[in-house]
A and B are shown apart, each in its own frame.
Chain A
């Protein structure tokens, strides 16, 4: 059922249609001139306002994980549009107002908030979660540990949560693995990684924040190696095994990696840190995980990148379509260094060569070195960690997805953060510079009813509804073909485009934007576009951008409205391809087989439950596109506590 409707760009502070409304051309000269002068004056005042905005607003900009509203909504001190009648919360929550305990903060009502909970992404039953920790496969179970606050929906009092799964999708919650019960982790049981020894035993290295707030590394191991659920953990009696070395500050020493074997038969780990503003990765060798020698050199450093958190270091095959154990090395292998930059809360990676003898690594392309080049994900995604899954011979990536709404909403709903769907990681042989991320195949077990659309034509400036039934739990695979004639005919220009500084989907180009509108209501008053934008340079070369526009994702004012995205390499002969996982308040989008990925959190007030719909759209001015899609309804993963009677205690 195809129905075309003209796409009506909503007038916004950013968008300006260069051609102007057609009625103007019919007006007499005098009126045109006076309109011109009015526009000039308005423009002048607009310029004044926006320049003032910079100085007296002073909102801290690098803020994907922190602040939310863009500066312009910051200024608009006018009421939020009123929503439907408010339901009453039965939750007793010590953070509610002293009187009127059942009143909810407007505009979020119980219905809107409970919709936000995901159906098939990992999240604990309540409270705050952040970094993934120590993922591994052991005795038939995938294990996942995570930074957890047992007391509140904000970061603090951090301990290790734990869950297990047979398939990385259906998770069962277990008791907390480690709590802050020693002097060396009293102020935080922080991030760490697992290493599986040749005899199959597991060791865990993790960072503790001591009673004196010094960051140290500690060793822990399962209390009972024959317990496949690894419920109880023992901390080594001689902890800490590592303290900050000379020249490294007490608070710049955390997140030890999985260990890999050197040619001398020692274990080697790396730990991120910084010296002044240079992010670095320290290297230690050990034979027993208890005594360590710090290597003279460092694995790598990049000036100006600041503190490197959650460093990850792993090999990828240049030739095979499988993952590699962390200790693998050789001529057909490249090594990836990844760091989470504390300064901008993004995860960066770079592909290069590992020099085992002196424990150093050199990027293939210094221009896209760690921290200044490629990101795993151009949305809200941090503290990612991989592990080698020996069960299926693949390398799997976990990433923490925070919230981008206000903490008030988080406290009301009683939880904050989810994890991404685990992704396989492969070296992209075609570009040689990128990694490919793709949701693990087990997610397909959640697929229910499917819908197929073939060669749906979407004219320039139109929207096509896709009738797929409920649209809040979806797996979408799509391919787009853009009208070749338009591609060739369009004149190129020197204007540089970037998703984040663009006006979003309201900003029309000749060859874009076009893509999907997810979590959109019928009237499109709320919509989250996931789309491509093709820009043609003055040299005739095409650049494709992949973006996710949150600016109209919700009418609520206290949510992130940024536009995420980046360039995506599209090679000769490749069609534009897209995969989108929609799961209530999280949208994970993969372009060109996972070459560029964007995850976002979306909090609609209307486009929820049965009112959420899916559309194709094309807001280009010249090119038409045709789309072919397969869309599946997705089942819940029924993530819940491990059945009580089976727990070993």
Chain B
């Protein structure tokens, strides 16, 4: 059974079980991982998804002339928020996980969820980023949940 059990038990304590399982199991490093390592894998996933989203935003912004000003404004704001996730939240979470001051990992993960949500609500018309914002948001929430587990149950 090995680590399958730990991954399942951990994901059961997050609000997005399927996403959690998929994100962890698709990373080979999860095989013999501790809960702390699972948190780190989740944060890597957050960084990947956030980067993909930022790339998409940049692509959409390249369209420049074809965009209406409201859409342009919203996308630019989103780019700002995603930069915060990648260059602010992720490093903060990683340093906190590494050094063991877990509340700052929780802070960074919770903030990433807020940034993704804040991006989504920028769009008064149809958001071109809904699916990606949801993924980033949910991955952040899962990461925050796993940090909570480390803080309150396990000792790493």
Distance between Cα atoms of A487 and B117 in the complex (Å): 45
Chain B residues, CB < 8 A from A250: 100
Distance between Cα atoms of A152 and B92 in the complex (Å): 10
Chain A residues, CB < 8 A from B100: 209, 213, 215, 250-252
Given contact pairs A106-B122, A342-B103, A155 touches B141 in the complex (Cβ within 8 A): no
Other-chain residue from A77, A94, A154, A252 in contact with B120 (beta carbon distance below 8 A): A77
Check if B99 sits within 8 Å of A251, measured CB to CB.
Answer: yes
Check if B91 sits within 8 Å of A55, measured CB to CB.
Answer: no
- Contacts of B4-44 to chain A: CB distance below 8 A: 14-16
Interface centre among B91, B101, B120 (most CB of A within 10 A): B101
Chain A residues, CB < 8 A from B122: 79-80, 106
Q: Map CB proximity to B onto A124-156 as digits: 1 under 8 Å, 0 otherwise.
A: 000000000000000000000000000011111
Check if B76 sits within 8 Å of A100, measured CB to CB.
Answer: yes
Chain A residues, CB < 8 A from B111: 66-68, 406-407
Chain B residues, CB < 8 A from A68: 110-111, 114
CB distance from B112 to the nearest CB of A (A): 9
Chain B residues, CB < 8 A from A407: 84, 88-89, 108, 111, 115
B45 within 8 A of A: no
Interface centre among B88, B89, B109 (most CB of A within 10 A): B88
Distance between Cα atoms of A154 and B156 in the complex (Å): 23
Distance between Cα atoms of A163 and B61 in the complex (Å): 45
Distance between Cα atoms of A416 and B151 in the complex (Å): 24
A195 within 8 A of B: no
Q: Map CB proximity to B onto A221-255 as digits: 1 under 8 Å, 0 otherwise.
A: 00000000000000000000000000001111000
Check if B110 sits within 8 Å of A67, measured CB to CB.
Answer: yes
Other-chain residue from B61, B88, B103, B118 in contact with A95 (beta carbon distance below 8 A): B88
Q: Map CB proximity to A onto B43-66 as digits: 1 under 8 Å, 0 otherwise.
A: 000000000000000100100000
A69 within 8 A of B: yes
Check if A154 sits within 8 Å of B151, measured CB to CB.
Answer: no
Chain A residues, CB < 8 A from B98: 187, 213
Check if B151 sits within 8 Å of A152, measured CB to CB.
Answer: no
Check if B120 sits within 8 Å of A155, measured CB to CB.
Answer: no
Q: CB-nearest residue of chain A relative to B123?
A: A79
What is the number of residues of chain B that contact chain A, defined by CB distance less than 8 Å? 53
Chain A residues, CB < 8 A from B144: 60, 66-67
Q: CB-nearest residue of chain A relative to B80?
A: A105
Q: CB-nearest residue of chain B relative to A98?
A: B58
A359 within 8 A of B: no
A59 within 8 A of B: yes
Distance between Cα atoms of A63 and B83 in the complex (Å): 23
A276 within 8 A of B: yes
Check if B80 sits within 8 Å of A66, measured CB to CB.
Answer: no
CB distance from B49 to the nearest CB of A (A): 17
Main secondary structure of the interface of B (DSSP, over half): helix
CB distance from A62 to the nearest CB of B (A): 8
A411 within 8 A of B: yes
- Contacts of B73-124 to chain A: CB distance below 8 A: 73-74, 76-77, 79-81, 83-84, 87-89, 91-92, 95-96, 98-104, 106-111, 113-115, 117-118, 120-124
Main secondary structure of the interface of A (DSSP, over half): loop
Distance between Cα atoms of A76 and B58 in the complex (Å): 26
Check if A155 sits within 8 Å of B96, measured CB to CB.
Answer: yes
Check if A345 sits within 8 Å of B15, measured CB to CB.
Answer: no
Distance between Cα atoms of A152 and B84 in the complex (Å): 11
Chain B residues, CB < 8 A from A215: 100
Chain A residues, CB < 8 A from B117: 69, 74, 77
CB distance from A601 to the nearest CB of B (A): 14
Q: CB-nearest residue of chain B relative to A152?
A: B88
Check if A411 sits within 8 Å of B121, measured CB to CB.
Answer: no
Check if B141 sits within 8 Å of A59, measured CB to CB.
Answer: yes
A488 within 8 A of B: no
Distance between Cα atoms of A95 and B50 in the complex (Å): 14
Check if A277 sits within 8 Å of B145, measured CB to CB.
Answer: no
Distance between Cα atoms of A590 and B53 in the complex (Å): 45
Check if B114 sits within 8 Å of A406, measured CB to CB.
Answer: yes
Given contact pairs A557-B118, A558-B114, A408 touches B81 in the complex (Cβ within 8 A): yes
Check if B80 sits within 8 Å of A251, measured CB to CB.
Answer: no
Interface centre among B100, B104, B121, B148 (most CB of A within 10 A): B100
Chain B residues, CB < 8 A from A152: 88
Given contact pairs A96-B83, A155-B107, A60 touches B91 in the complex (Cβ within 8 A): no
Chain A residues, CB < 8 A from B79: 97-98, 100
Distance between Cα atoms of A74 and B152 in the complex (Å): 25
Distance between Cα atoms of A408 and B96 in the complex (Å): 19
Check if B152 sits within 8 Å of A306, measured CB to CB.
Answer: yes
Distance between Cα atoms of A381 and B85 in the complex (Å): 25
Contacts A/B (CB < 8 Å), 29 sampled = A60-B145, A65-B107, A66-B103, A68-B110, A68-B114, A78-B124, A79-B124, A80-B122, A95-B87, A97-B83, A103-B80, A153-B88, A154-B92, A155-B101, A157-B95, A209-B99, A213-B100, A249-B156, A251-B100, A277-B153, A307-B151, A343-B152, A406-B84, A406-B114, A406-B115, A407-B108, A407-B115, A408-B80, A408-B88
Chain B residues near A (Cβ < 8 Å): 14-16, 58, 61, 73-74, 76-77, 79-81, 83-84, 87-89, 91-92, 95-96, 98-104, 106-111, 113-115, 117-118, 120-124, 141, 144-145, 148, 151-153, 155-156
Instruction: Report the 6 A-B pairs with minimum CB-CB distance, sorted nearest first.
Output: A58-B15, A251-B100, A67-B110, A66-B110, A97-B79, A105-B80
Given contacts A66-B109, A106-B73, A155-B92, 6 further A-B contacts (CB under 8 A): A58-B16, A63-B110, A68-B110, A103-B73, A104-B80, A156-B91
